[in-house]
Amino acid sequence: MAITRDEVAHLARLSRLALTDAELDHFAGQLDQILAAVARVQEVVADQIPPTTHAAGIVNVYRDDVAAPQLTPEQALACAPAAEQARFRVPRILAED
Amino acid sequence: MTTELAHLVPYDEAVSRYEPVIGLETHVELGTVTKMFCGCPTTFGLPPNSAVCPVCLGLPGSLPVANRAAIEYTIRIGLALHCTIATWCRFARKNYFYPDMPKNFQISQYDEPLCTNGWLDVTVGGQTFRVGIERVHLEEDTGKSLHIGGATGRIHGADYSLVDYNRAGIPLVEVVTKPITGTGELAAEAARAYVTELRDLLRALDVSDVRMEEGSLRCDVNTSLAPRGAAEWGTRTETKNVNSLRSVERAVRFEIERQAGLLDAGIRVVQETRHFHEDSGTTTAGRSKEEAQDYRYFPEPDLVPVAPPATWVEQIRASLPELPAARRARLQADWGLSDANMTWLRNAGALDLVEQTVAAGAAPAEASKWWLGELATEANKRGIELAELPITPEQVASVTALIGRGTLNDKLARQVLEGVLTGEGDPDAVVAARGLAVVSDEDALAAAVDAAIEARPDVAAKIRDGKTNAVGALIGDVMAATRNRADARRVRELILQRLS
Amino acid sequence: MGGEATELTRLTAAEIGAAVAAGEVSAVEVTRAHLDRIVAVEPELHAFLHVAGIGALAAAEEVDRRRVAGERLGPLAGVPLALKDVLTTADMPTTCGSKILAGWQPPYDATVTRRLRDAGVIILGKTNMDEFAMGSSTENSAFGPSRNPWDRSRVPGGSSGGSSAAVAGYEAPLGIGTDTGGSIRQPAAVCGIVGMKPTYGGSSRYGLVAFASSLDTPGPLARTVLDAALLHEAISGHDPRDATSVDAPVPPVVAAARQADVAGLRVGVVSELSGDGYQAGVQSRFAEAVELLESLGAKVTEVSCPHFGYALPVYYLIAPSEASSNLARFDAMRYGLRVGDDGSRSADEVMSLTRAAGFGPEVKRRIMLGTYALSSGYYDAYYGKAQQVRTLIGRDFDAAFDQVDVLVSPTTPTTAFLIGERVDDPIAMYLADLCTIPSDLAGNAAISVPCGLAPEDGLPVGLQVMAPALADDRTYRVAAAVEAALQQRWGGPLLAQSPPLDDAPPKGPAR
């Protein structure tokens, strides 16, 4: 087994996906297959090979420290599911995460 | 969550039996004009969600572009802390879900910080500790939440929260110390002294306004205890919400007392994040760190590596201002002060004031004496900082000049200072208005001296016999008679002349 | 009048642009004709998620006004276009084919969108796609699949299936797609049109809702190579808002498309991209295309790229990893769907319920896969290793391009498969990207151009031409040569052989 159902449940929690038991069963089977397939990369010996960072090796791209146009608060909040006092209203945040 | 143990071991006792190791993680909001990855303003106190754009709101499709000034400021900080500047490094994504983070990842630096392996000397209690700097790296700040519905406005018990993203994306530099060992009973003070020194350094570098009360300088304090002589360090806790220099000291103090209490009772210290409470000076447990958060760091694919050319780094190094430690050393040498006096000056926050007073013409010793003596007492009485007293360095210099010319003696000078502090005007004006000039009329002085000698024949006799120490009483009489307007040295001369 | 209207939708972009600039036809007329076409065939194709009729006509009026005022119009002014719903538009919704963004109207235009508008291109609407660009068939769209104009029981490919179907179905002469693992080229191949993946960074990703940041590339879809080149030029170029965008002149793709000559060009056939799993008709049409190239003067050799066999697993580690992070922002807090906020639930719970309801199964799979591959303890073996093997794949290309000027292969192993055929078999679905993925990993330029119909099913086959990064023009040169030669052989474009969508005669004056 490349991955167990419990591990999949853990992944779902980590990625904030409230999956049903049926979904968990279904995904566990599929992810197991997929992981077994992608694990093939481990066959390749690549000890001194650097990972690809960026195509074309570009470095040092910056912007100047000058102001650019912003959104108005109305624009920012336009699609907010809930807003109050010009802020985004969100459900209670638990201190533990 | 474990039950909080109320038993605290008094600090002095705790540090006598246990060895504290402390660490500090300081976050500094850089004073750049715009945010780290977009052109929104970084101004403090703007109306909520008025300094946001698709990038710092993390809207779908938005992309970050690094602010060159922020990179420069970070290198500046690294150089001032004697760090090695990376020749090639990358930003990384720190992934976790939290409503104040628009992308649910924070662009930060993980295993490739821009600056590493530096140090900062901190002097406390007459000892100098070289605090190792593990790393200085750059990241973006998060938004701010208001928690509504709970009793204290804190997160616990809140019904919902309101989020303002103005702060999201402001460049944040994180300075992390190596573990600070060997401070013993000075641990709490040393922690505070380190943050103070760092703050002064950052201010001198002009990279941040470093106001703890505004959140542009934030501290997390790590504390652990081990029995004296133990081979390994103890388990450390991380204390957050430490919002002032005083809180740094109090937080370390409390943690040491609390951990000593646990260790004495044979209870394991839990590795956890704790929250510092300003009002009570205590810490309470927050998120447990036993199950460490896996941030799934990977290099940020939307940004390209930062590879500061050596010429740029050298340019920055050449443009560094005189750093606080160097400035203090220079002033101490110039002024010929002892280490003790220098420390005293620094701790009283009088350094700038004395420097300005000297610049206005006073001798360093004189300037120090008045700021650390009379004026410090007054500031204490009023419950304010020295710099907040309604008197300028120029005015103090002017008083010392009057003393130097013989117009005032010390006692009169005190009255003049009092006059300036109560708003009567400049020293010259106060002298004139109150008629405080030293009596320079020789005849009047002679008359007062004679009167004093006559009034104390026994003292006069002693002096004639050679016991010149006894002259003090007669000087006192003359000063009283002249309402302190005599030059004490001249009075002494006259008395000894008369009685030799 | 009706005949003209129908004819307008059969013109190429180049022809429309020239006619509009010359005042022979108004941009409004052209737009109306295409809007009519959309009304007529959308029930069959379902290529569009949003049709912006009013906005399109207003933009067309503006083009006409400028022409009348004597302004010099660009080559694509007045030309209609179908825009993949993954690029932001400030005046139209942007859903990325997902319920989680249903109805979301961005407050800003993508740079690509902006450049299209500046060029006078008429954006007719936003096209259907696999959700968040994850898929090869549009079956992962939350709003139902699009259909292949060649055979409506079949997929138009993906993830840019909507744009491809729109162009192949004559709803627009131009389309914009995005290519991460083949999502422009594969739909183009199975729909019998031209689709091009520019060099990574050649066109800006600002406003392109990210799937895999180090792979996503916006690019053109069109019915001719020249049209694709004109569109490529219009959207490409450095963008200071995208730190990964290439700061170099756009390669001379239009000139190359007109040059259409391969004499002396060294062409390499990638030996790893053939064999098992490749449909017979695809292999035979590809072989013929290679022979054609030789007959046109190219020097053809076989080239081995030994690590290409690992391209699929490398891609299916890197892309989901980046996606798991890119899609974390969809959390119900600031925009989009919010589910389960009844006042008692925590933010975390609302996030989890919303994402479960708002994301489809493929997206969920990839998010979990990506989360796994990045986890501490697994990073080195999965994501880290994949990035190393990616370097090796890039080196395979470098070595190959030392020997040849371009590499060729079939664009995808099979012709368009049936709707529903692979939807329950993720791995079978992934195989559609076998030939296209390597160029995404290397950031190279690659084009797909029609090279015939597979004899066994009469469905289009695409020839893929790959060139080194920044040598995009080379791919156009080869594609144009192949196109010209084949169209001569066929007596017209391949698409002319597709069964018409509406058999009814033209209905009368265009509305």
Question: Could you read off the pLDDT of B189-212 as tens digits, one per residue?
Answer: 999 999 999 999 999 999 999 988
Quick one: pLDDT at residue B435? 77
Instruction: Tell whether C410 is within 8 A of chain A (Cβ).
Output: no
Which one of A52, A87, A90 makes the best mutation probe of the C interface by having the most chain C beta carbons within 10 Å? A52
Lowest mean pLDDT among B13-22, B245-254, B291-300: B291-300
Q: Which of B450, B442, B440, B448 has the alpha carbon at shortest distance from B498?
A: B450
Q: How far apart are CA C156 and CA C131, in angstroms?
A: 15
For range B133-148, the mean pLDDT: 96
Q: Percent of chain C, pLDDT > 70?
A: 97
For range B341-351, the mean pLDDT: 80
**Nearest residue in C to B37, CA atom:** C241
Instruction: Tell whether B368 is within 8 A of chain A (Cβ).
Output: no
DSSP B286-327: EEE-SS------EE-TTS--B---HHHHHHHHHTPPPPHHHH
Q: What is the number of other CB atoms lying within 10 angstroms of the CB of residue B378?
A: 16
Instruction: Tell whether B488 is within 8 A of chain A (Cβ).
Output: no
Q: Which of B169, B128, B220, B192 has the alpha carbon at shortest distance from B40?
A: B169
User: Which chains contact A through at least 3 pairs of Cβ atoms less than 8 Å apart?
Assistant: B, C
Q: How far is C483 from chain A (nearest CA, A)?
A: 30
Q: How far apart are CA A26 and CA C56, in angstroms?
A: 44
Q: Which of C386, C440, C405 has the alpha carbon at shortest distance from C303?
A: C405
Contacts of residue A51 in chain C, CB cutoff 8 Å?
A: 384, 387-388, 390-391
The bridge status of strand C80-84 relative to strand C174-179 is: parallel
Both structure tokens of C455? 């004899």
Highest mean pLDDT among B149-158, B219-228, B366-375, C12-21: C12-21
Q: Number of CB pairs < 8 Å for A and B?
A: 138
Q: Which residues of B touch C (CB under 8 A)?
A: 54, 57-66, 93, 95, 97, 99, 102-105, 159-161, 163, 294, 296-298, 301-304
User: Which chains contact C through at least 3 pairs of Cβ atoms less than 8 Å apart?
Assistant: A, B
User: Which chains contact B through at least 3 pairs of Cβ atoms less than 8 Å apart?
Assistant: A, C
Which one of B94, B296, B304 makes the best mutation probe of the C interface by having the most chain C beta carbons within 10 Å? B296
Strand order of the β-sheet with A87-91 is A83-84, A87-91, B160-164, B144-148
Contact criterion met (CB < 8 Å) for C352 and A44:
no
Answer whether residue C505 shows pLDDT above 50: no
Q: How far apart are CA C434 and CA C181, in angstroms?
A: 9
Quick one: pLDDT at residue C365? 96
Q: How far apart are CA C279 and CA B360, in angstroms?
A: 92
Contact criterion met (CB < 8 Å) for A52 and C394:
yes
For range B240-262, the mean pLDDT: 93
Q: What is the mean pLDDT of chain A?
A: 91
Lowest mean pLDDT among B44-48, B248-252, B413-417, C262-266: B413-417
**Torsional sign, CA C1, C122, C170, C49:** negative
Percent helix, strand, coil in chain C (nearest 5)?
45, 15, 40
Q: Which of C476, C505, C479, C474 has the alpha carbon at shortest distance from C494?
A: C479
Contacts of residue B46 in chain A, CB cutoff 8 Å?
A: none
Q: How far apart are CA C185 and CA C337, in angstroms?
A: 32
Contact criterion met (CB < 8 Å) for C316 and A38:
yes
Q: How far apart are CA C264 and CA C477, in angstroms?
A: 12
Answer whether residue C304 shows pLDDT above 50: yes
When CB atoms are compared, the residue of C110, C331, C376 closest to B61 is C110
**Nearest residue in B to C332, CA atom:** B99
pLDDT per position as a tens digit, C174-196: 999 999 999 999 999 999 999 99
Quick one: pLDDT at residue B109? 96
Instruction: Tell whether B289 is within 8 A of chain A (Cβ).
Output: no
Phi-psi region of C500 (alpha: psi -120 to 50; beta: other; left: phi over 0): beta
When CB atoms are compared, the residue of C104, C355, C390 closest to A52 is C390
Q: Which of B110, B169, B172 has the alpha carbon at shortest distance from B142?
A: B169
- A residues 10-39 near C, CB within 8 Å? 11-19, 23, 27, 30-31, 33-35, 37-39
Q: Percent of chain B, pLDDT > 90?
A: 60
Answer whether residue B2 shows pLDDT above 70: no
pLDDT per position as a tens digit, C338-393: 999 999 999 999 999 999 999 999 999 999 999 999 999 999 999 999 999 999 99
CA B20 to chain centre: 22
Q: How far apart are CA B165 and CA B102, in angstroms?
A: 8
pLDDT band at B386 (very low <50, low <70, confident <90, very high): confident
Q: How far apart are CA A32 and CA A28, in angstroms?
A: 6
Q: How far apart are CA B500 and CA C277, in angstroms?
A: 125
Instruction: Tell whether C132 is within 8 A of chain A (Cβ).
Output: no
Quick one: pLDDT at residue B6? 64
Structure pTM?
A: 0.89
Residue C449 pairs with which residues in a beta bridge? C463
pLDDT per position as a tens digit, A7-35: 999 999 999 999 999 999 999 999 999 99
pLDDT band at C5 (very low <50, low <70, confident <90, very high): low
Instruction: Tell whether B147 is within 8 A of chain A (Cβ).
Output: yes
Helices C311-326 + A21-38 axis angle, to 10: 140
Residue B29 pairs with which residues in a beta bridge? B172
Q: Percent of chain B, pLDDT > 70?
A: 97
pLDDT band at B125 (very low <50, low <70, confident <90, very high): confident
Q: How far apart are CA C186 and CA C193, in angstroms?
A: 10
Quick one: pLDDT at residue B156? 75
For range C18-29, the mean pLDDT: 97
Lowest mean pLDDT among B134-148, B377-391, C256-270, C301-315: B377-391
Q: Which residues contact C433 (CB under 8 A, 6 or more apart)?
A: C136, C181, C182, C186, C312, C315, C412
Look at B331 and B107; give whichever has higher pLDDT.
B107
- A residues 20-59 near B, CB within 8 Å? 53-54, 58-59
Answer whether residue C509 shows pLDDT above 60: no
Quick one: pLDDT at residue C487? 96
Answer whether residue C506 shows pLDDT above 90: no
pLDDT band at B94 (very low <50, low <70, confident <90, very high): very high
Answer whether residue C508 shows pLDDT above 60: no
Please tell me the total number of residues recorded for chain C in this structure: 511
Highest mean pLDDT among A3-7, B415-419, C63-67: C63-67
Contact criterion met (CB < 8 Å) for A54 and C214:
yes
For range B315-341, the mean pLDDT: 90
Answer whether residue C134 shows pLDDT above 90: yes
**Nearest residue in C to A73, CA atom:** C107
Answer whether residue C507 shows pLDDT above 50: no
Q: What is the mean pLDDT of chain C?
A: 95
For range C437-466, the mean pLDDT: 97
Q: How far apart are CA C48 and CA C37, in angstroms?
A: 12
pLDDT per position as a tens digit, C420-433: 999 989 889 999 99
Write out the catalytic residue numbers of C.
Answer: 84, 159, 183
Quick one: pLDDT at residue B289? 44
Lowest mean pLDDT among B19-23, B436-440, C15-19: B436-440
Instruction: Tell whether B63 is within 8 A of chain A (Cβ).
Output: no
Contact criterion met (CB < 8 Å) for A46 and C388:
yes
Contacts of residue B57 in chain C, CB cutoff 8 Å?
A: 334
For range B465-483, the mean pLDDT: 87
CA dihedral C235, C244, A60, B55 (to 10 degrees): 90
pLDDT per position as a tens digit, C212-246: 999 999 999 999 999 999 999 999 999 999 999 99
Helix (H) or strand (E) holding C80: strand C80-84
Residue B84 pairs with which residues in a beta bridge? B116
Q: How far apart are CA B131 and CA B179, in angstroms?
A: 8
Quick one: pLDDT at residue B388? 87
Instruction: Tell whether A12 is within 8 A of chain B (Cβ).
Output: no
Quick one: pLDDT at residue B485? 80
Answer whether C333's CB lies under 8 Å from A90's CB.
yes
Complex ipTM > 0.90: yes
Contact criterion met (CB < 8 Å) for C310 and A56:
no
Instruction: Tell whether A59 is within 8 A of chain C (Cβ).
Output: no
Q: How far apart are CA C89 and CA B61, in angstroms?
A: 11
Contact criterion met (CB < 8 Å) for A97 and B96:
yes
